[in-house]
A and B are shown apart, each in its own frame.
Chain A
């Protein structure tokens, strides 16, 4: 971040020639206006979600007497209804359990795999790395039918275990790919000198590489957590009973009943279901950005 600041300062000083046409007017039209429109469009659905979640029912669709963009006398009724009269807390708990366990499982497997591919350099390591990348490209929409078939045969249909075991199919390739990049950035010399000092491979991994790769581990971990929290198609296919559902599936299949939509409850469900990942995100923005761009930049 300080690098950026220095760089920014340098550019300001150096390229007078390029900024001479940048009058304030031009800057407003070229930069601030588009930025404002983008931010408005990208954030409006969240605002609308939040406003609806705390609107009393009589104001919800009455646009004539109440401004739709504002709430007069916000209420927590929808949220109370959600927390005390539906299975919503259970769904939150399920999603949490499934996300945490599948993340831990994937991270553990990925650390070893990434280290092996990047640093042990066994025969065929490069090909394995490529296979991992290809595995990352296999979409869940192709796999859910055969996986449903397997889940049924294993007798784990409608259990959280089914999700914990299937989520790593997209988490492991992603985490491995990401961690490979991080391991690559750790200087060889550190490992070599540890080897010379008599450290075993295991000691090198746990005492040298992993501590240095902690940012990578955090990135992979929170990203994997978010991906599992947001997962939908497997959860929709493998879970049938209300008490085992995850938040996205539960909100969609249990809160939408008949023709009268309870928009207040639906929107508070969506809002509360988004909060955990948004809070996590707000603490680790830079890790998120680095893992997202890292995965693309190979």
Chain B
């Protein structure tokens, strides 16, 4: 084919151009063809369910029974439901505390790893482990660590004579909240740290040198050189962190299932509990839909975080 002359090639191929070849010869046609598998998949299993979820929130669908449109009834019901509001409060608290801790500790770890270290790559590798291991399986280890009788933490503290009786980590509402947040932070630190470390490594050393020559102390170099240059990546990483923490399900499901007395129920776990074991698909979907405004807020935050790049590169604000 490639050796034939242009004219001959056209003459030969013209009569049997199928629709496929004609499509693949134009830019848009080829784009469409290449996008087709992914787009079909996402439209069918992502966009459609998203819409279906919103629709289900307006119906009284339950397992095995197609529902009818009931307007805002689910939302009115949720509005007056104390457990729902408790779950909203828990979700916000969980997200806020866990994200702040993840950020502070993750940034700290990233700064430590950015120092001159022997075996740096080795440390980076093992630090990422909590993030690689399936959440449910590491959460099981935390379940065992937080056991009411045989917790290893209680044992050590008792051994040191700091406490008298084992701590009931997952039995007391506030302790349970603290425990699930601790487990979430444990799992989230590596992600934040490694991403911020990647950001730190892009900051030119010469800027630090210049600042040091001008007499900046290490805190000032961090505050006025590192932090501003790291802001865009911090914005993105933290948006991801907020999104994943806000919609967390696995950890709570393993550790407490929302208990004690709904003290650790997040919106995702409450939605699951009402929809799947409870059978109230409509109500569960309504709770899931109620998460969307918060998520949109987080995405917008990320968007404006990304925008910052412009002025950092010398463009207009």
Residues of A within 8 A of B (CB): 1, 7-8, 11-12, 14-15, 17-18, 30-31, 34-35, 38-39, 41-43, 45-46, 48-49, 52, 60-61, 63, 68, 108-110, 112-113, 115-117, 120-123, 125, 128, 132, 134-135, 137-150, 165-166, 168-169, 172-173, 176, 198, 201-202, 226, 229-230, 232-233, 236-237, 247-249, 251-252, 261, 263, 266-267, 269-271, 273-274, 277-278, 281-282, 285, 288-289, 292-293, 296-298
Contacts and interface: CB of A to CB of B under 8 A. Distances in A.
A149 B52 contact: yes
A101 to B, nearest CB: 14
B243 to A, nearest CB: 6
Interface stretch (B69-77, B79-87, B135-143, B171-179): B135-143
List 10 tightest A-B contacts by C-beta distance, closest first.
A122-B31, A116-B34, A113-B38, A139-B247, A248-B136, A293-B198, A141-B268, A146-B49, A270-B137, A146-B52
A49 B141 contact: yes
Contacts of A128: 35
Contacts of A8: 116
Given A141-B288, A292-B195, A46 B112 contact: no
A252 B236 CA distance: 33
Contact of A233 (B130, B144, B208, B249): B249
Interface size for chain B: under 10, 10 to 19, 20 to 34, or 35 or more residues? 35 or more
A249 B140 CA distance: 12
State the main secondary structure of chain B at its contact with A: helix
Interface in B167-211: 186, 189-191, 194-195, 198-199, 205, 208-209
State the main secondary structure of chain A at its contact with B: helix
Given A112-B37, A172-B38, A297-B198, A142 B292 contact: yes
Interface string B213-251: 100000000000000000001001100100110011110
B78 interface: no
Contact of A63 (B37, B61, B150): B150
